[in-house]
Every structure is written in structure tokens, then in C-alpha cells.
Structure 1
């Protein structure tokens, strides 16, 4: 019976992930659908593994005996997920410590970590309270107006706690890289994150100046490699993602779109496997 639960869970996860991943329409629609397809299958797998672990390797369910195989699979899945979480947390902590090794300076009334490199880089690095890291090259190359637009963009990432939330989304991405369309959905969420930060900045600076800053940073910052873990940088964008951002900046909307969470009623279905525990004897 437990093996049947595993098979059903995997089939549902695969069916959802094989559905359409590129959605037309408003940002809110794109955000809700992409986040649902990205989160629901892993959450269903996670809840099924927890349910099997709670039921244990002995007993009956639905008149059928259970065994060690399903229990061992659930334990292995949860162990791998936990190990990956610890690994990513350690990498994020190292990135934060590296950022804090940079000298803290006051620039335009804002505390920033000054990175000693001529590559153009600006990004939030950390977890709930990230550090704003800006390279020496960016401050020396960009005009004051361009620097102001960069800082406004990074303030948007700080306002929405993007480094914190995308750490957990990045963990899910790593755990379920084997599921279909994990990478396209991840890229969609990244571009929506950057579009939101761009539009937060547009409320304070000229969108054309921000678009120019983005192009300058992307074209001159490739020599500097930074980790995606706990990092939200202005230059996160290339190809189609960059085109979407530039187009959105050149045709700005009046207000920043709210990217709301999908209805929790739909996510409740992912917890259904936990209800099967009461039928285990």
C-alpha cells in the first residue's frame, strides 16, 4: 500500500510538471501559476515521505501489510533533502561571511560593503538581513544617477526579502532537479523577481536610467562570478530574461504589481498524504 502511495505521488507530480510552464497574462497570473507548479509537486513528495516515515515499516493499511522498502525510501528522501538544505545553508553562510570581510563604507548615506574588483557588481547577499555589496568598479564607472538606480533596485530586493525566500526556493530546485521543467520554472520565478525589483526602483528613479545601468552591468560584469545562493544581484539576467526586463522598464506600469501567493486551498491538497496515517494500524 505504501508503494502505491509513492507511485501515485510521483505520477501526480510528473503530470503537473509536464503541463504548460509559460503563461501569458499579467504578472500576478504568471507568478501564481509558476509558483504553484514549482512548489506543489515537491511539497506533495515531501508530505508523502513524512507520512510513510510516521507510519513506520510495520503494520497494515487498507488490509495490506507494509514493509521496510517504502519506509527506507522515505527515510532516504528526507535525509537527502535535509543534507541538501544544510549544504546550501553552509554555502550561503560562506557567501555572507565573504561579503562581511569587505570593508563597510558609507555611500550616499547608505552602508555598503565595498568589493575590491573592477567588474561591475551590486547585489544583496545574505538571508533575512542581507548585506548590500557594491564593487569598486561599479562606483568608479557609473555616473551618480546610474549608481542611484542600481541602489534603488537592490533596495527592492531587500524590501521583498528576496534573498531569504529564494534560498528556500533554490533548495527546492536542487532537491527536485530531476522533475520535468524545474529549470524553466526557476528561470521564470527569477525573472519575475527581477521585474518586481526593477519596478520598485522605478518609483524612485528614471526607468531609462535603470535600463542603461542594467545593460552596463550585464555587459561589464561577466568577469565576476557570484553564487546564486542567498544572492540577488542587478545583473541577474541574460538573453530572454534581460529582454523582458528592458521591455518592462521602457513601458513601465503605474504601480508595482503585487505578486501574491497562490490560494492555500490548492496547497492543502499536498497535505492529504498525512491524513493516511490515521488508516495505518
Structure 2
């Protein structure tokens, strides 16, 4: 019976992902729909595995005997999930430690870390209370007004606690990379994260200035250097971000936004514990 539960959860998760389409519309709607498609299937599998482990390898459920194979399978999955989480946490800790070795400077009245490199970089480093890290190349390339737009964008990442939430989303991505469309949905979430921070920055500074900053990074970044500035970005995402900045945002009513209550369905497997004897 437990094995049937696991197979059912995996089948539902794969079907949801396989038939998933990248949503269209403004970033508010795209964010809600993409987050559901990305997070709900892994959450359903994880909750099913958790319920199987809680029920144990002995007893009956619905008149059917349970075996040790499904229990062991669920235990391996949860153990793998936790090991990957510890690995990502260790990598994040090393990144934060490396960032804290950079000297602190005062920039626009804020304490930031200075990365001594010619590449253009700006990003939040940390977990719940991240620190802003900017590169020497960025300070030398951008004018004060363009630099202000970059700082406003990074404040948007701080406001939405992107470093915290995307650590957990990255954990889910690593554990369920085998599910269909994981990478496509992950890239969409990364794009929407930047659009959300752009939208926040556009409420603080001139959107046109931020759009100009995007182009300045692309044209002034040293040849051969990866454009790793979290605030600016480049490549095939550049056009989409500039277009969003120059286009007036569409009003989105609360009724259009997806309710978080739908995620409660992923916890339904936990109810099966009461039927285990």
C-alpha cells in the first residue's frame, strides 16, 4: 500500500510537470503560477515519503499489509534530500565567509563589501540578513545615478528576502532535477526574481535609468568575463527586462492571484497516517 502511495505521488508530480506550460502575463501572475508548478510536485512527493516513514515498516493500511521496501525507499529519499541540503548550506556558508573577507566601504550611506575585480558585479550574499557585495569594476563604470538604480534593485532583493527563499527553492531544484521541466521552471523563477526586483527599483528610481544601467553593463563588461551582476544580468533576458521597465505595469487584482491554499493539497498524504494500524 505504501509503495502504491509513492508511485501515485510520483505519477501526479511527473504529469503536472510534463504538461506544464510557462505562464504568460505580468510578473505577478507568472510568479504565482510558475512557483506552483515548480514547488507543488516535489512537495507532494516529500510529504508522501514523510508519511510513509512516520507509519513505519510494519502494520496494515486499508486492509493491506505494508512492507519494508517502501519504508526503505522513502527513508533513502529523505536522507538524500537532507544530504543535499547540508551540501548546499556548506557551499553557501563558504560563499558568505569569502564575501566577509572583502573590505567594507561606505556607499550611499550604507556599508557594503568591495570585491576587487574588474568584472561588473553586485549581489546580496547571505541568508536572512544578507550583505551587499559590489565590485570595483562596477563602481568605476557606472555614474552615481546609474549606481543608485543598481542599489535600488539590490534593495528589492533584500526586501523580498530572495537569498533566503531561493536557497530553499534551489534545494528543491537539486533534489528533484529528475522531474520534467525542472530547469525550465527554475530559469523562469530566476527571471521573475529579477523582474520583481526591477519593479521594486522602478518605484524608487527612474525606470529608464535602470534600463540604461542594464545596457551599460553589457557594453562595458570586459570581454571574456561572465556578467554575474545579480542586479543587471544580460543575454536573452536583457530584452525582456528592459521591455518590462519601459512598459507601464498592468493592474493585477487580488482575485487574479493564486491562493496559497492550493499548496495544502500537497500535505494530504499526511492524513493517511491515521488509517495506518
TM-score, reference length from structure 1: 0.91
Find out whether 1:148 has 2:144 as its counterpart. no
* Alpha-carbon separation, structure 1, partners of 2:240 and 2:231: 14
1:10 aligns with 2:10: yes
Q: How do residues 79-118 of structure 1 correspond to structure 2 at under 5 angstroms?
A: 79-118=79-118
Which of 237, 243, 247 is equivalent to 1:247? 243
The alpha-carbon deviation at position 266 of structure 1 amounts to 1.3
Q: Distance in 2 between matches of 1:28 and 1:225?
A: 26
Shift of 1:9: 0.5
* Structure 2 counterpart of 1:229: none
Q: Provide closer, same or farther for how the CA distance between residues 76 and 262 of structure 1 changes in structure 2, counting only shifts above 3 A.
A: farther
- Tell me, in whole angstroms, the C-alpha distance in 2 between the residues paired with 1:75 and 1:178: 18
1:112 touches 1:133 (CA, 8 Å); kept in 2?
yes
Give RMSD over aligned pairs: 2.1
Contact 1:128 1:163 in 2 (8 A): yes
Cα distance in 2 for partners of 1:237, 1:7 equals 41
Structure 2 unaligned blocks of 5 or more: none
**1:106 is paired with a residue of what secondary structure?**
strand
Correspondence for 1:271: 267
Q: Which residue of 2 aligns with 1:234?
A: 231
Report the counterpart of residue 70 of structure 2 in structure 1. Answer: 70
Q: Which is worse superposed, 199-208 or 90-99? A: 199-208
Q: For the residues of structure 2 that align with 1:79 and 1:98, how far apart are their CA atoms? A: 29
Separation (CA, whole Å) in 2 of partners of 1:255 and 1:201:
18
Residue pair 2:115, 2:136 contacting (<8 A) in 1 also: yes
Equivalenced residue count is: 274
CA-CA distance at 1:159 after TM superposition: 0.9
C-alpha deviation, 1:235, in angstroms: 3.5
Note if contact 1:200-1:256 (Cα within 8 Å) is conserved in structure 2. no
Asked if 1 retains the 8 angstrom alpha-carbon contact of 2:27 and 2:196, the reply is no
Say if 2:121 and 2:227, in contact at 8 Å, map to a contact too. Answer: no
Please name the residue that 1:54 is paired with: 54
CA gap of 1:101–1:27, structure 2 versus 1, over 3 A, is same
Asked if structure 1 preserves the Cα contact closer than 8 Å seen for 2:214 and 2:233, the reply is no
Deviation at 1:237, TM superposition (A): 4.4
**Residue in structure 2 matched with residue 164 of structure 1 by the alignment:** 164
